[in-house]
Amino acid sequence: MMKRSYRIWTAPRTGHTLLARLLTDTGVAGTPGEHLTLHDESNLKEKYQVSNYPEMIRAIQEACSGGTLIGGCKMDSHKDRHIILRDELLDLKGITTDDEEKDLWADLFPDVKDIFLLRRNKVRQAVSWWKAIQDNEWHIEAGKSRITDQSFYEDKYDFKAILHLWKESMLREANMQDYFTRFQIKPLTLVYEDYIQDLERTIAQIFEFLNIKDQFTFPEVRYKKTADDISELWVERFKNDIQDGWDSIAY
């Protein structure tokens, strides 16, 4: 049974898949994944094929822990989706008010600690996000090349779409920060541009924060950066478009 837990709070394109896979592959940090994310399912009961609250808690904890005593989970930084999940769990527990939300998450995540991933450069985050939406290449495995031909991207740049994602990345980050303030959470904050430079040190930092003392061998890094020449072109184009007509260029 899971005794301790951690949550990874993040928005898209912050390297969370890379980091979660490394943590999983250590063999001693649970299996942090999108265990509360709905894909083709309409709700968590459908996702886990359960009918009551104890069954739900057990199923999610098993998914988070992978048989270890500590479990991890990525948390959705999108406010509306977070509320939908929270309300389903409250309803399953038989509670009609969100006053007990903190106790609800304590049921699911015992002795929890929180990790906050962010990306300092929101322009690059938005460009990466839009590019992945277009080509569906969210990750590239180490040793493999991008499968999409560069000619595919010729008409895929969309200023309004990238602007929307640029705004959304900041709003999601602000939403997470408000959540931390509300529940007096002091997360371990990791910045993509920094931690990607030394992944082995980053895993050691996380283990120290989580008080994981098990011995492990640093695993193989399974993914590589998706940014390429198209990414750079779109970043420069977006910078020019968003500052069009400005008397003084900020970026």
Give me the mean pLDDT over the 204-213 stretch.
Answer: 97
Residue 99 confidence (pLDDT) above 80: no
Bridge partner residues of 118 (DSSP)? 191
Residue 171 confidence (pLDDT) above 80: yes
pLDDT classification of 102: cutoffs 50, 70, 90: confident
pLDDT in tens, 62-73: 999 998 999 999
Look at the block and give the residue holding tokens 């007990």: 100
Give me the mean pLDDT over the 109-125 stretch.
Answer: 97
pTM of the model: 0.94
Looking at 61-178, which runs of residues are DSSP E strands? 70-76, 112-118, 140-141
C-alpha to C-alpha distances, 80 to 84, 172, 175, 226, nearest whole angstrom: 6, 11, 11, 28
Give me the mean pLDDT over the 23-47 stretch.
Answer: 95
Residue 20 confidence (pLDDT) above 90: yes
Residue 83 confidence (pLDDT) above 80: yes
Q: What is the mean pLDDT of the chain?
A: 94
Query: In whole angstroms, what is the distance from residue 60 CA to residue 196 CA?
Result: 29
Q: What is the pLDDT of residue 32?
A: 98
| Amino acid sitting at position 90 | L
Residue 1 confidence (pLDDT) above 80: no
Q: What is the pLDDT of residue 43?
A: 95
Query: In whole angstroms, what is the distance from residue 228 CA to residue 28 CA?
Result: 34
Q: What is the pLDDT of residue 125?
A: 98
Look at the block and give the residue holding tokens 């990790």: 115
Instruction: Yes or no: say if 206 and 72 are a contact pair by the CB < 8 Å rule.
Output: no
Output 43 or 104, whichever has higher pLDDT: 43
Query: In whole angstroms, what is the distance from residue 63 CA to residue 37 CA?
Result: 12
Residue 127 confidence (pLDDT) above 70: yes
Domains, in order of start, for the chain: 4-242 (3.40.50.300)
Residue 146 confidence (pLDDT) above 90: no
Phi, psi of 8 (to 5 degrees): -110, 115
pLDDT classification of 3: cutoffs 50, 70, 90: very high
Residues near 38 by beta carbon (within 8 Å), at least 6 away in sequence:
44, 47, 81, 85
pLDDT classification of 159: cutoffs 50, 70, 90: very high
